[in-house]
Structure 1
Protein backbone atom coordinates (compact mmCIF):
# COMPACT_ATOMS: atom_id res chain seq x y z
CA UNK A 1 0.00 0.00 0.00
CA UNK A 2 1.43 3.44 -0.88
CA UNK A 3 2.84 5.28 2.13
CA UNK A 4 1.82 8.86 1.41
CA UNK A 5 -1.56 8.36 -0.18
CA UNK A 6 -3.07 5.08 1.03
CA UNK A 7 -6.68 6.19 0.72
CA UNK A 8 -6.12 8.20 -2.45
CA UNK A 9 -4.71 5.54 -4.75
CA UNK A 10 -8.29 4.90 -5.84
CA UNK A 11 -9.89 8.31 -5.26
CA UNK A 12 -13.65 8.47 -5.31
CA UNK A 13 -13.30 12.03 -6.50
CA UNK A 14 -10.97 13.34 -9.16
CA UNK A 15 -9.80 16.31 -7.09
CA UNK A 16 -7.66 14.66 -4.38
CA UNK A 17 -5.80 12.60 -6.98
CA UNK A 18 -5.36 15.58 -9.29
CA UNK A 19 -4.03 17.67 -6.41
CA UNK A 20 -1.50 14.98 -5.47
CA UNK A 21 -0.44 14.54 -9.09
CA UNK A 22 0.14 18.29 -9.47
CA UNK A 23 2.05 18.45 -6.19
CA UNK A 24 4.11 15.51 -7.40
CA UNK A 25 4.82 17.29 -10.69
CA UNK A 26 5.91 20.37 -8.74
CA UNK A 27 8.25 18.24 -6.62
CA UNK A 28 9.69 16.62 -9.77
CA UNK A 29 10.27 20.10 -11.23
CA UNK A 30 12.03 21.22 -8.07
CA UNK A 31 14.17 18.07 -8.16
CA UNK A 32 15.13 18.75 -11.78
CA UNK A 33 16.24 22.28 -10.91
CA UNK A 34 18.38 21.44 -7.85
CA UNK A 35 22.00 20.76 -8.77
CA UNK A 36 24.41 19.19 -6.31
CA UNK A 37 28.15 18.98 -6.99
CA UNK A 38 28.95 15.29 -7.49
CA UNK A 39 31.52 13.19 -9.27
CA UNK A 40 31.87 12.76 -12.21
CA UNK A 41 29.03 15.12 -13.17
CA UNK A 42 26.77 17.43 -11.14
CA UNK A 43 23.67 15.63 -9.94
CA UNK A 44 20.06 16.81 -9.93
CA UNK A 45 17.41 15.40 -7.62
CA UNK A 46 15.08 14.57 -10.51
CA UNK A 47 15.48 10.79 -10.20
CA UNK A 48 15.06 10.99 -6.42
CA UNK A 49 11.80 12.92 -6.81
CA UNK A 50 10.33 10.66 -9.51
CA UNK A 51 11.22 7.43 -7.72
CA UNK A 52 10.09 8.69 -4.31
CA UNK A 53 6.75 9.86 -5.69
CA UNK A 54 6.16 6.64 -7.64
CA UNK A 55 6.91 4.41 -4.66
CA UNK A 56 4.97 6.65 -2.26
CA UNK A 57 1.88 7.40 -4.35
CA UNK A 58 1.50 4.08 -6.15
CA UNK A 59 1.41 3.39 -9.88
CA UNK A 60 -1.60 5.47 -10.93
CA UNK A 61 -0.74 8.66 -9.07
CA UNK A 62 2.97 8.21 -9.74
CA UNK A 63 2.33 8.05 -13.48
CA UNK A 64 -0.16 10.93 -13.22
CA UNK A 65 2.46 13.10 -11.48
CA UNK A 66 5.11 12.30 -14.09
CA UNK A 67 2.63 12.80 -16.95
CA UNK A 68 1.64 16.19 -15.50
CA UNK A 69 5.31 17.14 -15.37
CA UNK A 70 5.83 16.07 -19.00
CA UNK A 71 2.70 17.91 -20.16
CA UNK A 72 3.89 21.09 -18.44
CA UNK A 73 7.26 20.70 -20.16
CA UNK A 74 5.68 20.00 -23.56
CA UNK A 75 3.63 23.19 -23.17
CA UNK A 76 6.87 25.15 -22.87
CA UNK A 77 7.11 25.63 -19.13
CA UNK A 78 10.78 25.48 -18.04
CA UNK A 79 10.38 22.43 -15.81
CA UNK A 80 13.23 20.29 -17.14
CA UNK A 81 16.82 20.30 -15.95
CA UNK A 82 18.79 22.91 -17.86
CA UNK A 83 15.75 24.79 -19.14
CA UNK A 84 15.31 27.35 -20.50
CA UNK A 85 19.03 27.53 -21.34
CA UNK A 86 19.06 24.20 -23.25
CA UNK A 87 15.67 24.73 -24.88
CA UNK A 88 12.07 24.20 -23.85
CA UNK A 89 8.94 22.39 -24.89
CA UNK A 90 8.75 19.63 -27.45
CA UNK A 91 12.14 20.60 -28.92
CA UNK A 92 13.80 19.81 -25.58
CA UNK A 93 11.82 16.58 -25.25
CA UNK A 94 12.89 15.46 -28.74
CA UNK A 95 16.54 16.08 -27.87
CA UNK A 96 19.10 13.69 -26.38
CA UNK A 97 17.32 13.37 -23.01
CA UNK A 98 13.90 12.57 -24.49
CA UNK A 99 14.26 8.83 -23.98
CA UNK A 100 15.12 9.30 -20.32
CA UNK A 101 11.99 11.44 -19.86
CA UNK A 102 9.85 8.72 -21.47
CA UNK A 103 11.66 6.18 -19.31
CA UNK A 104 10.74 8.08 -16.16
CA UNK A 105 7.06 7.95 -17.16
CA UNK A 106 7.13 4.19 -17.63
CA UNK A 107 9.36 3.70 -14.57
CA UNK A 108 6.86 5.57 -12.39
CA UNK A 109 4.29 2.88 -13.14
CA UNK A 110 6.76 0.02 -12.71
CA UNK A 111 8.09 1.36 -9.40
CA UNK A 112 4.65 2.22 -8.07
CA UNK A 113 3.38 -1.25 -8.88
CA UNK A 114 6.42 -3.19 -7.61
CA UNK A 115 6.86 -1.13 -4.43
CA UNK A 116 3.31 -1.58 -3.15
CA UNK A 117 3.33 -3.20 0.29
CA UNK A 118 7.08 -3.77 0.22
CA UNK A 119 9.66 -3.04 2.89
CA UNK A 120 12.82 -1.04 2.37
CA UNK A 121 14.63 -3.77 0.41
CA UNK A 122 11.59 -4.38 -1.80
CA UNK A 123 11.33 -0.67 -2.55
CA UNK A 124 15.02 -0.55 -3.47
CA UNK A 125 14.53 -3.49 -5.84
CA UNK A 126 11.45 -1.77 -7.34
CA UNK A 127 13.47 1.42 -7.88
CA UNK A 128 16.34 -0.54 -9.44
CA UNK A 129 13.84 -2.08 -11.87
CA UNK A 130 12.55 1.41 -12.64
CA UNK A 131 16.10 2.66 -13.16
CA UNK A 132 16.70 -0.17 -15.64
CA UNK A 133 13.63 1.03 -17.58
CA UNK A 134 14.90 4.62 -17.56
CA UNK A 135 18.33 3.62 -18.83
CA UNK A 136 16.94 1.21 -21.45
CA UNK A 137 14.70 3.85 -23.03
CA UNK A 138 17.19 6.66 -22.44
CA UNK A 139 20.12 4.90 -24.04
CA UNK A 140 18.02 3.65 -26.95
CA UNK A 141 16.91 7.23 -27.70
CA UNK A 142 20.37 8.69 -27.06
CA UNK A 143 21.79 6.34 -29.70
CA UNK A 144 20.18 8.64 -32.28
CA UNK A 145 22.55 11.42 -31.13
CA UNK A 146 25.70 9.61 -29.96
CA UNK A 147 27.72 6.92 -31.75
CA UNK A 148 27.05 3.47 -30.26
CA UNK A 149 30.72 3.19 -29.29
CA UNK A 150 30.35 6.17 -26.94
CA UNK A 151 26.82 5.51 -25.74
CA UNK A 152 27.61 4.00 -22.33
CA UNK A 153 30.26 6.65 -21.64
CA UNK A 154 27.84 9.47 -22.51
CA UNK A 155 24.55 8.22 -21.13
CA UNK A 156 25.24 5.71 -18.36
CA UNK A 157 28.64 5.82 -16.67
CA UNK A 158 28.55 9.48 -15.53
CA UNK A 159 25.12 9.09 -13.93
CA UNK A 160 24.80 5.59 -12.46
CA UNK A 161 26.60 6.27 -9.17
CA UNK A 162 24.45 9.34 -8.45
CA UNK A 163 21.29 7.44 -9.39
CA UNK A 164 22.14 4.61 -7.01
CA UNK A 165 22.72 7.13 -4.21
CA UNK A 166 19.34 8.74 -4.98
CA UNK A 167 17.61 5.36 -4.84
CA UNK A 168 19.05 4.76 -1.38
CA UNK A 169 17.99 8.25 -0.29
CA UNK A 170 14.45 7.78 -1.65
CA UNK A 171 14.07 4.44 0.11
CA UNK A 172 15.49 5.86 3.34
CA UNK A 173 13.13 8.80 3.18
CA UNK A 174 10.19 6.48 2.65
CA UNK A 175 11.28 4.33 5.59
CA UNK A 176 11.48 7.43 7.79
CA UNK A 177 8.04 8.61 6.66
CA UNK A 178 6.59 5.14 7.24
CA UNK A 179 8.02 5.21 10.77
CA UNK A 180 6.52 8.66 11.40
CA UNK A 181 3.18 7.55 9.99
CA UNK A 182 3.14 4.63 12.43
CA UNK A 183 3.79 6.96 15.37
CA UNK A 184 0.88 9.24 14.52
CA UNK A 185 -1.73 6.50 14.13
Structure 2
Protein backbone atom coordinates (compact mmCIF):
# COMPACT_ATOMS: atom_id res chain seq x y z
CA UNK A 1 0.00 0.00 0.00
CA UNK A 2 2.97 2.31 0.39
CA UNK A 3 2.70 2.92 4.12
CA UNK A 4 3.87 0.87 7.06
CA UNK A 5 1.45 -0.70 9.53
CA UNK A 6 2.54 -1.04 13.13
CA UNK A 7 2.22 -4.29 15.06
CA UNK A 8 -1.23 -3.39 16.45
CA UNK A 9 -2.57 -2.67 12.96
CA UNK A 10 -2.88 1.09 13.48
CA UNK A 11 -1.90 3.19 10.44
CA UNK A 12 1.37 5.05 10.72
CA UNK A 13 1.07 8.82 10.23
CA UNK A 14 2.37 10.51 7.12
CA UNK A 15 5.06 12.16 9.23
CA UNK A 16 6.22 8.82 10.66
CA UNK A 17 6.18 7.27 7.20
CA UNK A 18 8.36 10.04 5.76
CA UNK A 19 10.59 10.35 8.85
CA UNK A 20 10.39 7.06 10.78
CA UNK A 21 13.17 7.96 13.22
CA UNK A 22 13.87 10.90 15.48
CA UNK A 23 11.74 10.39 18.58
CA UNK A 24 11.27 13.43 20.78
CA UNK A 25 13.56 15.64 18.67
CA UNK A 26 11.45 14.92 15.60
CA UNK A 27 8.25 15.69 17.50
CA UNK A 28 9.60 19.02 18.76
CA UNK A 29 10.85 19.99 15.30
CA UNK A 30 7.51 19.01 13.75
CA UNK A 31 5.55 21.04 16.32
CA UNK A 32 7.73 24.09 15.70
CA UNK A 33 7.37 23.67 11.94
CA UNK A 34 3.61 23.33 12.36
CA UNK A 35 3.40 26.53 14.39
CA UNK A 36 5.46 28.36 11.75
CA UNK A 37 3.18 27.10 8.97
CA UNK A 38 0.18 28.35 10.93
CA UNK A 39 1.81 31.75 11.40
CA UNK A 40 2.63 31.98 7.68
CA UNK A 41 -0.87 30.88 6.65
CA UNK A 42 -2.36 33.58 8.91
CA UNK A 43 -0.74 36.21 6.73
CA UNK A 44 -2.39 34.86 3.56
CA UNK A 45 -5.71 36.57 4.11
CA UNK A 46 -8.73 38.30 2.71
CA UNK A 47 -9.84 41.00 5.16
CA UNK A 48 -13.38 40.45 6.42
CA UNK A 49 -14.99 41.88 9.52
CA UNK A 50 -14.93 40.69 12.26
CA UNK A 51 -12.92 37.61 11.24
CA UNK A 52 -10.49 37.57 8.30
CA UNK A 53 -10.40 34.71 5.81
CA UNK A 54 -7.01 32.97 5.93
CA UNK A 55 -5.45 29.69 4.86
CA UNK A 56 -5.08 28.61 8.49
CA UNK A 57 -8.04 26.27 8.57
CA UNK A 58 -6.55 24.16 5.78
CA UNK A 59 -3.14 24.10 7.48
CA UNK A 60 -4.67 23.13 10.84
CA UNK A 61 -6.52 20.22 9.27
CA UNK A 62 -3.54 19.09 7.21
CA UNK A 63 -1.42 19.08 10.37
CA UNK A 64 -3.98 16.79 11.96
CA UNK A 65 -4.00 14.48 8.96
CA UNK A 66 -0.21 14.40 8.58
CA UNK A 67 0.85 14.39 12.24
CA UNK A 68 -1.91 12.55 14.07
CA UNK A 69 -4.02 13.99 16.86
CA UNK A 70 -1.52 14.54 19.67
CA UNK A 71 1.28 16.14 17.69
CA UNK A 72 -1.14 18.27 15.67
CA UNK A 73 -2.78 19.58 18.86
CA UNK A 74 0.68 20.25 20.32
CA UNK A 75 1.55 22.28 17.19
CA UNK A 76 -1.63 24.34 17.46
CA UNK A 77 -1.13 24.91 21.19
CA UNK A 78 2.45 26.04 20.54
CA UNK A 79 1.15 28.48 17.93
CA UNK A 80 -1.44 29.83 20.37
CA UNK A 81 1.21 30.17 23.08
CA UNK A 82 3.38 32.17 20.68
CA UNK A 83 0.47 34.52 20.00
CA UNK A 84 -0.39 34.78 23.69
CA UNK A 85 3.22 35.74 24.38
CA UNK A 86 2.86 38.65 21.94
CA UNK A 87 4.60 37.25 18.87
CA UNK A 88 2.99 38.50 15.60
CA UNK A 89 1.71 35.09 14.50
CA UNK A 90 -2.00 35.86 14.15
CA UNK A 91 -3.86 37.35 11.22
CA UNK A 92 -3.43 41.11 11.16
CA UNK A 93 -1.18 42.94 13.56
CA UNK A 94 -2.76 41.80 16.84
CA UNK A 95 -1.27 39.49 19.43
CA UNK A 96 -1.39 38.86 23.16
CA UNK A 97 -4.26 38.13 25.54
CA UNK A 98 -6.53 40.87 24.15
CA UNK A 99 -6.44 39.35 20.67
CA UNK A 100 -7.21 35.92 22.06
CA UNK A 101 -10.44 37.14 23.63
CA UNK A 102 -11.55 39.09 20.55
CA UNK A 103 -13.79 37.97 17.67
CA UNK A 104 -11.43 35.24 16.48
CA UNK A 105 -11.17 33.54 19.89
CA UNK A 106 -13.74 30.86 19.07
CA UNK A 107 -11.96 29.96 15.84
CA UNK A 108 -8.69 29.61 17.74
CA UNK A 109 -10.43 27.07 19.99
CA UNK A 110 -11.77 25.47 16.82
CA UNK A 111 -8.22 25.04 15.57
CA UNK A 112 -7.54 22.70 18.49
CA UNK A 113 -10.76 20.75 17.90
CA UNK A 114 -10.20 20.50 14.15
CA UNK A 115 -6.60 19.36 14.52
CA UNK A 116 -7.60 16.74 17.08
CA UNK A 117 -10.54 15.40 15.05
CA UNK A 118 -8.71 15.14 11.74
CA UNK A 119 -5.76 13.61 13.55
CA UNK A 120 -7.98 10.96 15.14
CA UNK A 121 -9.58 10.18 11.80
CA UNK A 122 -6.16 9.92 10.15
CA UNK A 123 -5.11 7.51 12.89
CA UNK A 124 -7.98 5.33 11.69
CA UNK A 125 -6.75 5.47 8.09
CA UNK A 126 -9.09 8.16 6.75
CA UNK A 127 -6.15 10.05 5.23
CA UNK A 128 -5.33 7.24 2.79
CA UNK A 129 -8.20 7.51 0.29
CA UNK A 130 -9.60 10.60 -1.45
CA UNK A 131 -13.21 10.28 -0.27
CA UNK A 132 -12.40 9.60 3.37
CA UNK A 133 -9.78 12.37 3.34
CA UNK A 134 -12.44 14.75 2.01
CA UNK A 135 -14.84 13.61 4.72
CA UNK A 136 -12.23 14.06 7.44
CA UNK A 137 -11.39 17.56 6.22
CA UNK A 138 -15.11 18.42 6.12
CA UNK A 139 -15.56 17.22 9.71
CA UNK A 140 -12.55 19.27 10.77
CA UNK A 141 -13.89 22.39 9.08
CA UNK A 142 -17.26 21.94 10.78
CA UNK A 143 -15.56 21.69 14.16
CA UNK A 144 -13.62 24.88 13.44
CA UNK A 145 -16.83 26.78 12.84
CA UNK A 146 -18.85 25.58 15.84
CA UNK A 147 -16.91 27.42 18.58
CA UNK A 148 -16.07 30.26 16.18
CA UNK A 149 -19.68 31.10 15.39
CA UNK A 150 -20.77 30.40 18.97
CA UNK A 151 -18.29 32.97 20.31
CA UNK A 152 -19.35 35.53 17.72
CA UNK A 153 -22.95 34.94 18.81
CA UNK A 154 -21.94 35.81 22.37
CA UNK A 155 -20.30 39.03 21.15
CA UNK A 156 -22.73 40.15 18.42
CA UNK A 157 -25.85 37.97 18.55
CA UNK A 158 -26.72 34.81 16.65
CA UNK A 159 -27.94 36.41 13.43
CA UNK A 160 -24.85 38.55 12.96
CA UNK A 161 -22.61 35.63 13.95
CA UNK A 162 -23.99 33.47 11.14
CA UNK A 163 -23.98 36.34 8.63
CA UNK A 164 -20.42 37.45 9.41
CA UNK A 165 -18.77 34.33 10.79
CA UNK A 166 -20.19 31.51 8.68
CA UNK A 167 -21.91 32.60 5.46
CA UNK A 168 -18.88 34.34 3.86
CA UNK A 169 -16.67 31.30 4.41
CA UNK A 170 -18.70 28.43 2.90
CA UNK A 171 -17.29 28.51 -0.62
CA UNK A 172 -13.70 29.02 0.52
CA UNK A 173 -14.04 26.20 3.05
CA UNK A 174 -15.25 23.83 0.33
CA UNK A 175 -12.28 24.79 -1.84
CA UNK A 176 -9.83 24.41 1.04
CA UNK A 177 -11.32 21.03 1.92
CA UNK A 178 -10.84 19.81 -1.66
CA UNK A 179 -7.38 21.33 -1.97
CA UNK A 180 -6.27 19.93 1.38
CA UNK A 181 -7.48 16.43 0.53
CA UNK A 182 -5.71 16.62 -2.85
CA UNK A 183 -2.46 17.78 -1.26
CA UNK A 184 -2.69 14.98 1.26
CA UNK A 185 -3.20 12.36 -1.43
CA UNK A 186 -0.24 13.79 -3.35
CA UNK A 187 1.92 13.60 -0.22
CA UNK A 188 0.93 9.97 0.36
CA UNK A 189 1.74 9.17 -3.27
CA UNK A 190 5.23 10.64 -2.86
CA UNK A 191 5.68 8.81 0.46
CA UNK A 192 4.59 5.53 -1.14
CA UNK A 193 7.18 5.94 -3.91
CA UNK A 194 9.89 6.71 -1.36
CA UNK A 195 9.11 3.72 0.83
CA UNK A 196 8.78 1.44 -2.20
CA UNK A 197 12.18 2.59 -3.43
- TM-score, structure 2 as length reference: 0.83
Query: Any gaps of 5 or more consecutive residues in structure 1?
Result: none
Match among 102, 109, 113 for residue 109 of structure 2:
102
The residue number in structure 1 matching 2:187 is: 177
- TM-score, structure 1 as length reference: 0.88
1:28-77 Cα deviation digits (max 9, x unpaired)? 1111111369xxx9742111111111111111111111111001011011
Mapped to 2, the partners of 1:8 and 1:66 lie a distance apart of 20
Count of matched residue positions in the alignment of Structure 1 and Structure 2: 179
Higher-Rg member (1/2)? 2
Mapped to 2, the partners of 1:65 and 1:2 lie a distance apart of 15
Query: Any gaps of 5 or more consecutive residues in structure 2?
Result: 1-11
Deviation at 1:6, TM superposition (A): 3.6
The residue number in structure 2 matching 1:19 is: 29
Match among 147, 152, 162 for residue 142 of structure 1:
152
Deviation at 1:174, TM superposition (A): 0.8
The residue number in structure 2 matching 1:157 is: 167
CA contact (8 A) 2:110 2:148 kept: yes
The residue number in structure 2 matching 1:45 is: 55
The residue number in structure 1 matching 2:13 is: 2
The residue number in structure 1 matching 2:134 is: 124
